[in-house]
């Protein structure tokens, strides 16, 4: 026999003498392998139980439910441990691949449904607390918070203001083509249109630098 694991749920069965709805239960056998397998169910006390479809085939990557009925529940059978053995076989060679034993027991009485609210436990909401920051994280957070304030407290750049004044003065000077009317300005103060465009561009950059938030 090969030692393939056999997956069955549940791993044990409990029947209750005074609860008839527990006299019928399901066993689910899984085939996680990539090939089909045959299965067979055996029992230590076949007269006490009835198993519907005790033999069959399980397709690859699938499962099958087996119905187990306790047919002769009595007080004399209580607390007696019985076993179901589920054996898997190779579909082609009929060689046994693995087996799994399921313990079962008949219990006198009924299943006890314990209500958690009847235990008297009182539950309260938990308080959410922030995790303590590491020194490096705390330093980075403080630096990030203080950075905008530091920027607001910076004085106005004197160089930028001086450049702005120079650009404005240059734009107010007469242009070279304006030679029709005699100007009182010297000729060396007449600048070309291209140079005025350069001063306008520089003035715009300086204004963005000074007025940015």
Distance CA 131, CA 128 (A): 9
Q: Is 88 exposed, middle or buried (0-12, 13-18, 19+ CB in 10 A)?
A: buried
- In three-state secondary structure terms, 106 is strand
48, 72 contact by CB (below 8 A) = yes
196, 175 contact by CB (below 8 A) = yes
DSSP-derived secondary structure letter, 117: G
Q: Is 213 exposed, middle or buried (0-12, 13-18, 19+ CB in 10 A)?
A: exposed
70, 86 contact by CB (below 8 A) = no
Q: Is 144 exposed, middle or buried (0-12, 13-18, 19+ CB in 10 A)?
A: exposed
- In three-state secondary structure terms, 10 is coil
The neighbouring-strand residues paired with 88 are 39, 98
Q: Give residue 17's pLDDT.
A: 92
Q: Which residues contact 33 (CB under 8 A, 6 or more apart)?
A: 4, 60, 61
Q: Give residue 3's pLDDT.
A: 85
Give me 78's structure tokens: 């209580």
**Per-residue pLDDT of the chain in tens (213 residues, 90 and over written 9):** 678 999 999 999 999 999 999 999 999 999 999 999 999 999 999 999 999 889 999 999 999 999 999 998 999 999 999 999 999 999 888 899 999 999 999 999 888 764 444 445 566 676 666 666 566 655 556 555 555 444 444 555 777 777 777 777 776 766 666 554 555 666 666 667 777 777 777 777 777 777 665
Q: Which residues contact 164 (CB under 8 A, 6 or more apart)?
A: 203, 206, 207, 210
């Amino acid at each position: 026999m090969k030692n393939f694991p056999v997956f069955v749920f549940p791993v044990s069965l409990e029947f209750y003498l005074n609860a008839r709805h527990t006299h019928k239960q399901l066993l689910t056998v899984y085939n996680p392998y990539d090939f089909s397998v045959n299965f067979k169910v055996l029992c230590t006390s076949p007269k006490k139980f009835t198993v519907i479809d005790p033999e069959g085939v399980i397709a690859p990557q699938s499962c099958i439910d087996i119905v187990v009925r306790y047919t002769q529940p009595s007080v004399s059978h209580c607390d007696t441990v019985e076993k179901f053995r589920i054996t898997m076989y190779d579909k082609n060679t009929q060689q046994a691949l693995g087996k799994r034993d399921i313990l079962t027991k008949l219990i006198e009485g009924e299943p006890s449904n314990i209500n958690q609210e009847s235990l008297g436990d009182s539950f309260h909401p938990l308080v959410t607390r922030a995790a303590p920051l590491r020194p490096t994280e705390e330093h980075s957070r403080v630096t990030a918070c203080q950075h905008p304030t530091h920027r607001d407290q910076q004085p106005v750049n004197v160089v930028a203001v001086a450049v702005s004044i120079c650009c404005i003065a240059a734009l107010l000077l007469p242009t070279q083509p304006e030679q029709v009317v005699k100007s009182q300005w010297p000729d060396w103060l007449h600048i070309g249109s291209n140079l005025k465009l350069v001063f306008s561009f520089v003035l715009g950059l300086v204004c963005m630098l000074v007025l940015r938030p």
